[in-house]
Amino acid sequence: MVQHRIPESAMSHPNEPGFATLQFYSTAVYPCSYLPGLNARSQVAAPTHLIDTATYSRLVEQGFRRSGLFTYRPHCDNCGACLPIRVDAQRFQRGRTHRKIWARHGRLSARSLPLHWSDEHFDLYRRYQQGRHPGAGMDEDSRTQYTQFLLTSRVETQMVEFRLPTGALQMVAIIDVLETGLSAVYTFFDPETRGSLGTYGVLWQLEQCRSHGLPWLYLGYWIEESRKMSYKSRFQPYQILRNGSWSEPVPDAAAPPAR
């Protein structure tokens, strides 16, 4: 996680307009969370108090992402596997599998709330980490780490609860509201609930983009070699950021069509 790394040296800022007041730092190397045996490095934008929603929106368009108060993008030595990905919300159409998932969880009610502490949320988060990511370190997250990771933000952020008619909490999604779309920060859900709740969460966010006339849903980073990230390329059409430009993958490199 970026917030556990201390910037080691100042770097020249990227060639993007409007960033004259920001500085960009490189972190020390640390073990890659996605590709075993590799080291990673991040570029961090600072100072954090200058990164408001408008500035963050532009940073996201350049491949940055937020973790708590830290805004970063991959800056690894000799590796470019982490590719920013965004879904064209206005052109997206649910495939057969997506329609089944949407119908299966149609009873869920969604409520948008400001970021706040909730024992119920934290309990769900811990169960999700223990059930879906055991041994990865995040299942040992303390209350402080959870708060810094998900409940700390200087941009416009929503916390969305998804509940059954009985009132049982099924899922929580943390979403940043950008000028050109939504950014899926993190989603956690009941690991014992069947039926692809995580996919439903993405479908719900796409529907929010469509209903508010926002063109893009940003899904963070995609790594072709990572099975955990393969679900992101099933939401089509999508664009990948390479060499500073967003573009849709060529047909022979695209993921199989959503079904």
| Boundaries of every domain in the chain | 2-82, 86-253
Strand 83-88 to 70-74 pairing: unpaired
**So what's the pLDDT on residue 6?**
35
CA–CA separation, 66 vs 56, rounded Å? 9
Strand 109-113 to 245-247 pairing: unpaired
**So what's the pLDDT on residue 45?**
96
Say yes or no to pLDDT of 176 above 90. yes
**So what's the pLDDT on residue 254?**
46
Say yes or no to pLDDT of 31 above 90. yes
Strand 216-222 to 181-189 pairing: parallel
CA–CA separation, 75 vs 92, rounded Å? 30
Say yes or no to pLDDT of 5 above 80. no
Whether 69 and 185 have beta carbons less than 8 Å apart is answered as: no
SS3 state at 144: helix
Structure tokens at 212: 């508010």
pLDDT tens for each residue of 58-100: 999 999 999 999 999 999 998 999 999 999 999 999 999 999 9
Element of type H or E holding 181: strand 181-189
86-253 maps to which CATH number?
A: 3.40.630.30
pLDDT, mean of residues 102-117 = 97
CA 171 to each of CA 16, 70, 200, 217: distance values in angstroms, whole numbers, following the listed order: 37, 24, 10, 19
